[in-house]
Amino acid sequence: MTRTTADARQADVIVVGAGPAGSSAAYHLAEAGVDVVLLEKSAFPRDKICGDGLTPRAVRQLIAMGVDLDAPGWQRNKGLRIVGAGHRLELPWPELASFPDYGLVRTRSDLDEILARHAEKAGARLTERTSVTGPVLDEGTGRVVGVRAKPVDDKGRRVGEDETYTAPVVIACDGVSARLAIALGLERRGNRPMAVGVRAYYTTPRHDDGWMESWLELWDGEPQRSNLLPGYGWIFGVGDGTANVGLGILNTSKAFQHVDYKDVLRRWLAQTPTDWGFRDENLVGRIGSAALPMGFNRKPHYTRGVLLSGDSGGMVNPFNGEGIDYALESGHLAAETVVQALARPDGPARERVLEGYAGALDAAYGGYFTLGRVFAKMIGNPTFMKQATKYGLPRTALMGVLLKLMANLTDPHDGDVSDKVINALARVAPAA
């Protein structure tokens, strides 16, 4: 049946932003038979500043979505290689019942389009080059009943008149900008850590490395006369002749405001072997940077008909800067919540279900993210960072447990002793 223009702008659910969170939500909604419109301000393929690394936690979500991970273009890895303080340690991903034992690398320009098209194939109505400018409020209740949007070209310039999309529920997956949340008065919480990620692509013979590599020594000057920064550098082989090379630095260090991150990246790479190719002549494209909103830095995650998912709700892991896995998971959880809510009559019964989304997020991640915030504060102390690197890396068993903690990879019920300890710590830590 052909839709009229007005019908095309009405739906059961509007999802704003077709990144991993939005495409996950749209896919699971469509699979459940919900009429969902997925609005994306850009046109695919489009790039995002990211490390492109997918740990087993993210891979589990891709498997649950039925994404073909045997298709060309997915670069598999078997674990994390850590370099620092004169040590080089290879830690395989843990063998768990809850997660696969491999990670992946895929550029965001590929990944985001794959997921958006996957959601579209499931039945989501994807609309590209549509930039959402704000919510539409019911004058009587103040509840969000839709969004205003403008059609834009490839450079984000307006190319037509504003449009209004209506739905009883909106899922905001609009990234770190969080325009919808800000329009509803949900400001960023200043007591939550933030980080900056800086990323570049280089042609390199290391493009098909079977390990994700992390360097723990980043300095704000020459190593002998400077402080160790709270963060790490990464080398993730993409498998197409290039590697994603970058660094992430937390704002818990006094040096945060005064560091030239691109200069730190170049100085670090200048220390790597020349034959790896991490020099300006092998740079593909530009060096880009982006903010990483961590540890639930925007709450509540539900208000007046709007659910926040992914970066819009600050769902980046403070331990390691991962955001894709929590975007996929929170999008899935948002979809499950909305499916149940729409099965109730409009009114208090439906509202109770929607309000449960925030509590479910707190139960899933609240205590763990609290631990992550403590960790982020600790490594902001250069002395602690230096000593932890020096004395922790030689202890392989300890580092294996730390990998589980930092990547949030444990079995919830039948795990080993380390799983039980990590899970217990996350349970007793307050979700704030």
For 14-50, write each residue's pLDDT tens digit: 999 999 999 999 999 999 999 999 999 999 999 999 9
Measured N-to-C along each axis, helices 417-428 and 396-407 cross at an angle, to the nearest 10 degrees, of 40
Q: What band does 1 get if pLDDT is binned at 50, 70 and 90? A: very low
The range of the structural domain enclosing residue 128 comes to: 5-75+107-189+297-371
Do the domain assignments include residue 234? no
pLDDT (mean) for 361-377: 96
Greater confidence (252 vs 255) lies with 252
Tens digit of each residue's pLDDT (9 = 90 or more) over 391-400: 888 899 999 9
Tens digit of each residue's pLDDT (9 = 90 or more) over 228-248: 788 899 999 999 999 999 999
Tens digit of each residue's pLDDT (9 = 90 or more) over 281-315: 999 999 999 999 999 999 999 999 999 999 999 99
Around Cβ 97, how many Cβ atoms within 10 Å? 9
What 274-280 contacts at long range (C-beta under 8 Å, 24+ apart), as own/partner pairs, is 275/205, 276/204, 276/205, 276/206, 277/202, 277/203, 277/204, 277/205, 277/206, 278/202, 278/204, 278/243, 278/245, 279/202
Of the given ranges (158-162, 169-173, 181-185, 259-263), which has the lowest mean pLDDT?
259-263
Query: Which pLDDT score is estimated for 3?
Result: 66
pLDDT (mean) for 269-287: 96
Do the domain assignments include residue 266? no
Greater confidence (114 vs 221) lies with 114
**pTM attached to this predicted model:** 0.96
b/e code 396-418 from CB counts within 10 Å (16+ = b) = eeebbbbbbbbbbbbbeeebeeb
Q: What band does 7 get if pLDDT is binned at 50, 70 and 90? A: confident
| Structural domains in the chain (count) | 1
Do the domain assignments include residue 341? yes
pLDDT (mean) for 202-228: 85
Of the given ranges (146-150, 248-252, 281-285), which has the lowest mean pLDDT?
248-252
Query: Which pLDDT score is estimated for 157?
Result: 93
pLDDT (mean) for 195-223: 91
Query: Which pLDDT score is estimated for 312?
Result: 97
pLDDT at 131 > cutoff 80 = yes
pLDDT (mean) for 170-174: 98
Do the domain assignments include residue 216? no
pLDDT (mean) for 266-274: 94
Tens digit of each residue's pLDDT (9 = 90 or more) over 415-429: 999 999 999 999 999
Q: What band does 224 get if pLDDT is binned at 50, 70 and 90? A: low
Do the domain assignments include residue 379? no
> Locate tokens 């969004």: which residue?
147
Do the domain assignments include residue 67? yes
Tens digit of each residue's pLDDT (9 = 90 or more) over 186-208: 999 988 999 999 999 999 999 99
Q: What is the mean pLDDT of the chain?
A: 94
Q: What is the 3-state secondary structure (H, E, C) of the chain?
A: CCCCHHHHCECCEEEECCCHHHHHHHHHHHHCCCCEEEECCCCCCCCCCCCCEECHHHHHHHHHCCCCCCCCCCEEECEEEEEECCEEEEEECCCCCCCCCCEEECCHHHHHHHHHHHHHHHCCEEECCEEEEEEEECCCCCCEEEEEEEEECCCCCECCCCEEEECCEEEECCHHHCHHHHHCCCCCCCCCCEEEEEEEEEECCCCCCCCEEEECCCECCCHHHCCECCEEEEEEECCCCEEEEEEEEECCCCCHHHCCHHHHHHHHHHCCCHHHCCCHHHEEEEEEEEEEEECCCCCCCEECCEEECHHHHCCECCCCCCCHHHHHHHHHHHHHHHHHHHCCCCCHHHHHHHHHHHHHHHHHHHHHHHHHHHHHHHHCCHHHHHHHHHHHCCCHHHHHHHHHHHHCCCCCCCCCHHHHHHHHHHHHCCCC
Query: Which pLDDT score is estimated for 5?
Result: 63
CATH number at residue 67: 3.50.50.60
